[in-house]
Amino acid sequence: MKRRHFIQSLGVGSGYLMTIPNISSNTINRHSHSFPTNNGLSADLVIAGAGMGGCAAALAALRNGLRVVMTEETDWIGGQLTQQGLSCPDEHQWIEFTGSTQSYRDLRNAIRKYYVDHYPLTETARNNPILNPGAGAVSRLCHEPRVALSVLLDLFAPYISSGKLILLTEHKIINADINNDQVAGLNARSLQTGKEIILRAPYFIDATELGELLPLTKTEYVTGAESRQVTKELHAADKANPAHNQAFTFCFAMDYLPEENHVIDKPETYSFWKGLVPDLKPAWPGKLLSLSYSNPSTLEPKALGFDPTGKPTGQMLNLWNYRRIIDRNNFQPGYYQSDITIVNWPQNDYFLNNIIDVDEKTFQSAIKQGKQLSLSLLYWLQTEAPRPDGGFGWSGLRLRRDIMGTEDGLAKYPYIRESRRIKAIFTVLEEHVGKENRKIVAGEKAGVKAADFFDSVGIGYYHIDLHPDTGKNNYIDFASLPFQIPLGALLPQRVQNLIPANKNIGTTHITNGCYRLHPVEWSIGEAAGMLIAFSINKKTVPHAVRENKKLLEEFQQFIQSQGITTHWPADIG
């Protein structure tokens, strides 16, 4: 079955039932759309994709009285936080108190509470209000994918039980019914049985990882890199190329048992990856499978350390600690034999082939190669990576298949950094959020802040971070400013009832680099779900909300009342 073989499952865990906030004063009346029907399912809203944006959109719509059908291609909801293995969310330094929606911070706190309620933490860890279970260097909340999955499932449990949400996991949207500028329905296929079902609603959200509803619904979109001539962005390419998309990564987890041998079978294409010197511009400093890479911001060679015993590696970052999700020192002595770490490193970014708007054979080939790269990196670490004592290889490194819930030990879905992007009513450019470009366009005084959008529906921050791409371009990494999410970037130019809620909003190849991270994707999804609830309640359409000043002000007050911040605090922004 198409695009099936990389989605494997071993079931899901269970967790405590999280209390749903009482916001009944903000809910709207239930509408006439209900499910099931004779020829499928009908609801107020159909969401394709249960990643960060999809889950946030669904929760926002559900708490405001809508009935929702949500599909997911894998058997895990949660996207990059769970099925893609990125359970060390990429966040900013203010995340504990601002720079995201309240529901996102509640999600983070619920993940911490899960460890307090279920794990044998030390007293110090148990009493730490900002507990970081893995103490990873990249994030203030490094944890296991299954814990986030359990928390998300608990959030949805009462809605599923009451019949307000139908969650169709292991279902893929295969085609769409369109009528002029409207989407009338979607056809979903079960990846287990092959059975197809029609999903109908007045509104649809595309929260898929690759913006897969856009071509199916004939919604206009762009891919890859725009040209500097068109966008006027400082860091844009000289020439546009829609096939130049960022690398994807198959993440995996491992621990270290020094007295044991856990070396995997030699991957079939190991020799290729072992010898590969990336053909990137500017040049990559040597072989891909090594402990060096291009410094993202300077592109100069940068050495990395690796020591799973936890010993210091001098001035170099110890990759073992980088995305560590379990620090055994946070738990009662003897409970863990080893720390556990996630591998999402420069060495397993796959950038040889594009996977957007390609035929099925090309797509599957790239997926297979991406998996082979990650397994080859593990094998290299086990057998050939240099050790501080002068030896080679750490044979005690153990692939933790249970952490990812798959037979091959790799994440259920590749970590996607770039998607199809709608041609939006408004497109975010580097001049709006890039620090250097902002100073040039807006002047030194205005350059202290990112652009102020009259239609802001959220905020976020991350530096502009583009990984090597399929056009043989090395890293593009530079400073941005704490930014806003404009409603215009969530509105397609033509199609009226399809809203994006992932990496498919109106950004460019460049600005996608700071709008693609965990809390921003959640914010986009939450705004999208509330936009549809508001539009239905007001008997209007999303585009009219932006066009009508009174409606827009009312919508912004509506989302603010439910914990969405639309402007950064003055002392930060």
How many distinct structural domains can be found in the chain? 1
| CA 272 – CA 73 distance, rounded (Å) | 31
What pLDDT sits at residue 37? 60
Q: Is residue 492 part of a domain?
A: no
Q: Is residue 155 part of a domain?
A: yes
Instruction: Determine the 3-state secondary structure of 244 from DSSP.
Output: coil
- Domain holding 385, by residue range, is 1-416
Q: What token pair was written down for 422?
A: 């709608």
Token pair 């010993």 is found at 311
Q: Is residue 75 part of a domain?
A: yes
H or E element that contains 460: strand 456-460
**DSSP letters of 286-352?**
S-SSSSEEE-TTT--EEE-B--TT----TTS-BHHHHTEEE-GGGB-TTS-SS-EEEE--GGGEE-S
> In sequence order, what are the beta bridge partners of 143?
none
What pLDDT sits at residue 573? 62
Amino acid identity of 340?
A: I
pTM above 0.85?
Answer: yes
Count helices and strands in the chain by DSSP H and E runs: 16, 23
- Per-position pLDDT tens, the chain of length 573: 344 333 333 333 322 222 223 323 233 333 334 566 667 999 999 999 999 999 999 999 999 999 999 999 999 999 999 999 999 999 999 999 999 999 999 999 999 999 999 999 999 999 999 999 999 999 999 999 999 999 999 999 999 999 999 999 999 999 999 999 999 999 999 999 999 999 999 999 999 999 999 999 999 999 999 999 999 999 999 999 999 999 999 999 999 999 999 999 999 999 999 999 999 999 999 999 999 999 999 999 999 999 999 888 989 999 999 999 999 999 999 999 999 999 999 999 999 999 999 999 999 999 999 999 999 999 999 999 999 999 999 999 999 999 999 999 999 999 999 999 999 999 999 999 999 999 988 776 656 799 999 999 999 999 999 999 999 999 999 999 999 999 999 999 999 999 999 999 999 999 999 999 999 999 999 999 999 999 999 999 999 999 999 999 999 999 999 999 999 999 886
Q: Is residue 504 part of a domain?
A: no
| Exposure b/e, 165-188, CB count within 10 A at least 16 = b | bbbbbbbbbeebebeeeebbbbbb
Q: Is residue 53 part of a domain?
A: yes
H or E element that contains 398: strand 397-399
Q: Is residue 529 part of a domain?
A: no
Contacts of 277 (CB under 8 A, 6+ apart): 284, 286, 287, 288
Contacts of 194 (CB under 8 A, 6+ apart): 1
| CA 131 – CA 111 distance, rounded (Å) | 10
**Dihedral sign, CA of 166, 49, 18, 147?**
positive
Tell me the C-alpha to C-alpha distance, in Å, between residue 164 and each of 194, 215, 295, 396, 500: 25, 29, 48, 48, 22
Contact (Cβ atoms closer than 8 angstroms) between residue 48 and residue 71: yes
What pLDDT sits at residue 441? 85
Q: How many CB atoms lie within 10 A of CB 22?
A: 8
Tell me the C-alpha to C-alpha distance, in Å, between residue 174 and each of 183, 189, 190, 197, 568: 14, 7, 10, 10, 40
Q: What is the largest CA-CA distance in the chain?
A: 71
**Dihedral sign, CA of 413, 419, 420, 425?**
positive
What pLDDT sits at residue 203? 98
| CA 447 – CA 481 distance, rounded (Å) | 9
Rg over CA atoms, the chain: 23
| CA 541 – CA 369 distance, rounded (Å) | 44
Q: Is residue 458 part of a domain?
A: no
